[in-house]
């Protein structure tokens, strides 16, 4: 088994020690149901032809059609996509969504492509996987370096191939193409609900809580701003090029506006169109992870905290907004240090939850207001947060293991309903 997927499976093995499920279910969850690798030829703007590698993996669809994002990144591999699809399987079960787990990706640096090349690549990807996806089969969504515009191109290409108007085939689309209000901020909003619900149980109030956020993309920048507006002291943020730190706190809306205009991070305070540089320290991504803060939020890529840097982590709480940012070996070290980790399959589940709501709205042809969407998201994610808290209180296990136990029980129910070894032996 590949390294990243093997690491993901270690979390499953830990949960299996505390829950009794069918041997059939365990066997089925060892392997992805189907993995697709495709070549995507793209005519570049200079007339040359370049072929990109693409992937789509449906890990399990026992509970419903596959659901999972598509990422564009130079480090995308089949191993990574399979691991992400594995996590999606448990995430959807944990949130009690009628979906299985899936994921997709293309090995590409999108920053090196023009908008026209990016569109041709996006449409070419759908050309290659059109038979593999569908509203009742597998429903993609945005992920790292993909957005609503790319999702719109992909849905339009699928519609052209199928000669239909099928908005439910892809979520995270523009509103004008059947997207849902609140989908663009859903991952961060879900994380915010979890964080603001959990921290008071540990006696932490916003003014006395310092936060560092690694990753300043869609989810990272949004969660930083939400926490700042709620009174938390966000003292550090970073993107792929590095980060900034100020013990006095950062003005996140101003930093977001500066980055939008200049594509870089600086400690600034903006008033209308004028931005002034304020006192701050330039730090690396690695240094951000070891800052002495109350809350650390990894919101970039997987495998950011490993056995090498976990001993230097000083945060008391970690909320995983990224997928798989902590390795299994690092988990063990952090637990021994007393660091409380809240897992990705809960914390970043707001995105897939509102994707589900978008899919429902597409099929109904009836669309909800932003307040309705956020209310439904909050109700569902806090219901599962409370259940995981309850399991933690009962068993005294890590929150990650409790989340997997909860998800496993739902997956087991769905698999057992189809008949297992235990059923047939009993006959």
CA 331/CA 327 separation, integer angstroms = 6
Which helix (H) or strand (E) segment holds residue 60: the answer is strand 49-60
Q: Where are the beta strands (DSSP E) in 93-169?
A: 100-107, 138-142
Out of 103, 173, 233, 378, the active site residue is 103
CB atoms within 10 A of CB 165: 10
103 has catalytic annotation: yes
Q: Is 385 helix (H, G, I), strand (E, B) or coil?
A: helix
Is the separation of the CB atoms in 149 and 283 below 8 Å?
no
Contacts of 422 (CB under 8 A, 6+ apart): 22, 23, 416
Q: Is 6 helix (H, G, I), strand (E, B) or coil?
A: helix
The DSSP symbol for 179 reads P
To the nearest 10°, the Cα dihedral for 307, 303, 83, 134?
160
Continuous H helices in 145-237: 148-162, 186-198, 218-229
Q: Which residue has tokens 């090196």?
A: 112
CA 7/CA 1 separation, integer angstroms = 10
Q: Is 304 helix (H, G, I), strand (E, B) or coil?
A: coil
Which helix (H) or strand (E) segment holds residue 370: the answer is helix 370-395
Task: Write out the catalytic residue numbers.
Answer: 103
């Amino acid at each position: 088994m590949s390294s990243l997927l093997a690491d993901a499976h270690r979390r499953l093995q830990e949960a299996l020690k505390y829950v009794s499920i069918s041997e059939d279910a365990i066997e089925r969850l060892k392997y992805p149901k189907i993995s697709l690798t495709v070549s995507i030829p793209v005519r570049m703007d200079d007339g040359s032809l370049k072929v990109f590698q693409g992937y789509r993996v449906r890990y399990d669809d026992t509970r419903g059609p596959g659901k999972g994002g598509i990422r564009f990144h130079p480090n995308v591999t089949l191993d990574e996509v399979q691991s992400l699809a594995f996590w999606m399987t448990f995430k959807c079960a944990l949130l009690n969504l009628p979906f299985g787990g899936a994921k997709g990706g293309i090995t590409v640096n999108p920053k090196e492509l023009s908008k026209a090349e990016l569109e041709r690549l996006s449409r070419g990807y759908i050309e290659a996987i059109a038979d593999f996806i569908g509203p009742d089969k597998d429903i993609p969504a945005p992920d790292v370096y993909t957005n609503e515009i790319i999702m719109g191109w992909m849905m339009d290409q699928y519609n052209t191939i199928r000669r239909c108007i099928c908005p439910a085939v892809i979520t995270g689309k523009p509103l004008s193409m059947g997207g849902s209000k609140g989908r663009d901020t859903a991952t961060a909003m879900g994380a915010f609900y979890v964080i603001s619900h959990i921290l008071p149980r540990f006696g932490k109030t916003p003014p006395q809580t310092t936060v560092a956020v690694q990753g300043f993309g869609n989810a990272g920048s949004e969660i930083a701003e939400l926490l700042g507006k709620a009174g938390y002291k966000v003292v550090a943020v970073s993107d792929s090029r590095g980060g900034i730190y100020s013990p006095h706190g950062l003005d996140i809306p101003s930093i977001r506006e500066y980055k939008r205009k200049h594509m870089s991070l600086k400690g600034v305070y903006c008033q209308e169109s004028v931005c002034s540089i304020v006192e701050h320290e330039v730090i690396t991504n690695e240094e951000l992870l070891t800052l002495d803060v109350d809350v650390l939020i990894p919101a970039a890529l997987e495998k950011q905290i490993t056995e090498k840097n976990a001993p230097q982590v000083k945060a008391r709480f970690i909320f995983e907004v990224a997928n798989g940012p902590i390795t299994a070996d690092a988990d063990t070290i952090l637990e021994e240090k007393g660091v409380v980790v809240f897992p990705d399959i809960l914390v970043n589940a707001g995105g897939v939850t509102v994707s589900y709501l978008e899919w429902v709205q597409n099929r109904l042809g009836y669309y909800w207001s932003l307040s309705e969407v956020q209310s439904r998201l909050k109700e569902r994610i806090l219901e599962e947060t409370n259940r995981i808290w309850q399991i933690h209180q009962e068993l005294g296990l890590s929150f990650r293991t409790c989340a997997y136990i909860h998800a496993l029980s739902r997956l087991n129910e769905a698999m057992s309903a189809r008949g297992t070894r235990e059923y047939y032996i009993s006959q």
